[in-house]
Structure 1
Amino acid sequence: MSIYTKRGDRGITDMAHAGNISKSDDRIRLMGEADELNSHIDLVKSMLHQSEILQLLERIQKNLDLIAAGVSNPYDRDCKVSEKETAVLEAETDKLEALCEKPVPEKLTGKSRLAAEIDIARTVARRTERCLAQVSVKFGADTESKRFLNRLSDYLYILARYIEYYSDLSVELSDDHGGALAKTSDNNADALPEPSDSNTDVLKKTADINEAVIQEVLKRMGIQSRITLDTAKKLIERLEQEAVRRGQRAVIAVCNPEGNPVAVHVMDGAFLVSFDVAMKKAYTAVAVKMSTMELSKIAQPGGTFYGVDKLDGGKIVIFGGGIPLKSGNTIIGGLGISGGTGEEDHSLAEYGQSVLNEIL
Structure 2
Amino acid sequence: MSIYTKSGDKGTTNLVHTKNVSKSDDRIQLEGTIDELTSHIGVVKTMISDGDTIRFLEKIQENLVKVTAGVADPYNREYKINDDKTELLEEEIDRLEGLFHCPKDSVLPGACPLSAQIDVTRSVARRAERALAAVSVKFGTDSGSKKYMNRLADYLYVLARYADASMSGKGLSGAADHEAPGTPLSSKEKAQPSGGVSSDSVDEAVIQAVLRRLGVSGRITLDGAKKLIEKIEQEALRRGKRAVIAVCGPDGNPIAVHVMDGAFLVSFDVALKKAYTSVAVKMSTMELSALAQPGGTFYGVDKMDGGKIVIFGGGVPLKSGDTIIGGLGISGGTGEEDHSLAEYGLSVLPEILG
Q: TM-score, normalised by structure 1?
A: 0.50
Q: How far 1:129 sits from its partner (Å)?
A: 0.2
Unaligned runs of 5+ in 2: 171-176, 203-354
Deviation at 1:148, TM superposition (A): 0.2
The change in CA–CA distance for 1:80 and 1:193 in structure 2 (over 3 A counts) is closer
Larger Rg: 1
**Per-residue deviation at 1:18?**
0.9
Identity of aligned residues (%): 46
- Aligned AA for 2:35? D
Q: Is 1:142 the equivalent of 2:142? A: yes
1:177-232 residue CA offsets vs partner (Å, 9 max, x unmatched): 16x444262631134789xxxxxxxxxxxxxxxxxxxxxxxxxxxxxxxxxxxxxx
- Counterpart of 1:154 in structure 2 is 154
Superposition misfits of 4+ residues, deviation over 4 angstroms? 170-174, 191-194
What residue is the counterpart of 2:290 in the other structure?
none
Alpha-carbon separation, structure 1, partners of 2:102 and 2:121: 23
Q: Distance in 2 between matches of 1:103 and 1:42?
A: 26
Q: CA shift at 1:97, angstroms?
A: 1.6
Q: 1:2 to 1:164 in 2, by over 3 A?
A: same
* Alignment root-mean-square deviation, CA: 2.2
Q: Determine helix, strand or coil for the equivalent of 2:77.
A: coil
Paired residue for 2:198? Answer: 190
Indicate the residue corresponding to 1:100 in structure 2: 100
Tell me the CA shift for residue 57 of structure 1: 0.3
Contact 2:102/2:158 (<8 A) preserved: no
2:280 aligned residue: none
Residue 67 of structure 1 pairs with residue 67 of structure 2: yes
Number of residues of Structure 1 aligned to a counterpart in Structure 2: 192
- Describe the superposition over 1:153-188 as per-residue Cα deviations: whole angstroms up to 9, x where unpaired: 0000010001011201286658x516x444262631
Does residue 182 of structure 2 align to residue 177 of structure 1? Answer: yes
1:121 equivalent in structure 2: 121
Contact 1:173 1:181 in 2 (8 A): no
Distance 1:128 1:173 in 2: 33
- The question of whether the paired residues in 2 share the 8 Å contact of 1:17 and 1:73 is answered with yes
TM-score w.r.t. the length of structure 2 is: 0.51
TM-superposed CA distance for 1:109, in Å, is: 5.5
Cα distance 1:2–1:158, how it changes in 2: closer, same or farther (>3 A)?
A: same
Answer yes or no: is the 8 Å Cα contact 2:90–2:155 preserved in 1.
yes
How far apart in 2 are the matches of 1:50 and 1:154?
Answer: 21
Residue matched to 1:32 = 32
Distance 1:9 1:193 in 2: 35
Amino acid across the alignment from 1:138: K
Equivalent positions of 1:275-290 (< 5 A) are: none
Q: Which runs of 5+ in 1 are unaligned?
A: 195-360
Asked whether the 8 Å contact 2:48–2:185 carries over to 1, the reply is no
Q: Which amino acid aligns with 1:20?
A: N
